[in-house]
């Protein structure tokens, strides 16, 4: 399939989706939304894909919304910014968080606005040392969207979240790791290889079990301890019925490496 705004590769059970509008710092227009969403939807259902990597071409990761699509005529009625959020950004964030397999994000450069929050929605975020994150919304009179106001306080705590969202300062990838916003930084040249290595590792792991871990950790954000304990019991019940669990135990008893199938 031909894409105008992204590059799609499938190898070794890993789906690699690369934003490919480098001249516009990979900002989203409608075509890009449609292409990303159709690929992610297909991967969510495709049991042959057991890990997903989101990365980007060029010097930036993603600058959020392409503002050329949103030229504001001072004499016209106010635009409805909720429209594209409802139609594109919110479903995209749900596609990432509800994907029943790990989603890794490789942030190669600046991740601004919705671009930063799409990265934060992923399960494991790796950034190049020169990458940066900006909650640019406040500078234009807007609110962090694409889950920004939900992810930030949960990742970094209220105080840091407020600072990031109200000041809109650019923070380095290193600082993002210190704050607990992302998993790790790597040398710029090593980013692609590291992300792929991690994805290939995860693609050999018990995918169903990983999907249940994801479900549990995402649910923890709104559950109390009692509900979460019940959920852990339920998910462990399901995990215990998987063939990967059986294989894991057998491999351990037979002192060999397990071969997981993802179910």
Of the candidate residues 237, 253, 256, 257, the single one contacting other proteins (CB under 8 A): 237
Q: Which stretch binds other proteins (CB under 8 A): 45-53, 122-130, 175-183, 227-235?
A: 227-235
Distances from the Cα of 163 to the Cαs of 105, 115, 116, 152, 183, in angstroms?
A: 24, 18, 15, 10, 21
- How is residue 228 written in tokens? 């979460």
44 touches 98 (CB < 8 A): yes
Residue 133: CB minimum distance to other proteins, A: 31
Residue 234: CB minimum distance to other proteins, A: 5
Beta strands 170-172 and 14-19 are unpaired
Distance CA 161, CA 165 (A): 6
User: How open is the CA angle 234-221-90, to the nearest 5 degrees?
Assistant: 105
Per-position x/- string for 174-213, each x denoting binding to other proteins as judged by CB under 8 A, each - no binding: ----------------------------------------
Distance CA 15, CA 54 (A): 9
Q: Which stretch binds other proteins (CB under 8 A): 37-45, 190-198, 233-241, 248-256?
A: 233-241
DSSP 11: E
Residue 237: CB minimum distance to other proteins, A: 6
Which CB, 31 or 218, lies closer to other proteins?
A: 218
Q: Which of residues 78-97 bind other proteins (CB under 8 A)?
A: none
220 binds other proteins (CB under 8 A): no
CA 145 to chain centre: 14
Residue 239: CB minimum distance to other proteins, A: 10
- Judged by CB under 8 A, how many residues of this single chain contact other proteins? 6
Buried-state track 55-91, b at ≥16 Cβ within 10 A, e below 16: bbbeebbbbbbbeeeeeeeeeeeeeeeeebbeebbee
Which CB, 30 or 227, lies closer to other proteins?
A: 227
Distance CA 182, CA 118 (A): 12
Which CB, 20 or 236, lies closer to other proteins?
A: 236
235 binds other proteins (CB under 8 A): yes
238 binds other proteins (CB under 8 A): yes
Beta strands 103-107 and 51-56 are parallel
231 binds other proteins (CB under 8 A): yes
Residues that bind other proteins (CB under 8 A): 231, 234-235, 237-238, 241
């Amino acid at each position: 399939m031909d894409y105008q705004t992204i590059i799609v590769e499938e190898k070794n059970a890993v789906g690699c989706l690369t934003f490919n509008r480098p001249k516009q710092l990979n900002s989203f227009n409608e075509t890009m939304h449609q292409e990303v969403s159709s690929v992610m939807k297909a991967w969510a259902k495709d049991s042959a894909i057991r890990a997903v990597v989101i990365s980007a071409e060029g010097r930036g990761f993603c600058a959020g919304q392409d503002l050329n699509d949103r030229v504001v005529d001072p004499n016209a009625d106010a635009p409805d910014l909720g429209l594209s959020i409802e139609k594109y950004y919110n479903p995209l964030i749900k596609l990432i968080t509800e994907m029943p397999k790990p989603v890794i994000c490789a942030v190669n450069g600046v991740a601004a606005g919705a671009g930063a929050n799409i990265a934060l929605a992923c399960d494991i975020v790796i950034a190049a040392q020169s990458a940066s994150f900006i909650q640019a919304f406040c500078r234009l009179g807007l609110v962090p969207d694409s889950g920004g106001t939900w992810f930030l306080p949960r990742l970094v705590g209220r105080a840091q979240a407020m600072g990031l969202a109200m000041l809109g300062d650019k923070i380095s990838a290193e600082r993002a790791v210190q704050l607990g916003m992302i998993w790790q930084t790597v040398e710029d040249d090593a980013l692609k290889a590291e992300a792929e290595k991690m994805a290939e590792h995860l693609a050999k792991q018990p995918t169903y079990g990983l999907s249940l871990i994801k479900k549990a950790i995402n649910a923890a954000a709104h559950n109390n301890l009692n509900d979460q304990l019940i959920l852990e019991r339920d998910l462990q019940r399901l995990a215990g019925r998987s063939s990967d669990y059986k294989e894991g135990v057998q491999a351990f008893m037979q002192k060999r490496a397990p071969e997981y199938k993802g179910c």
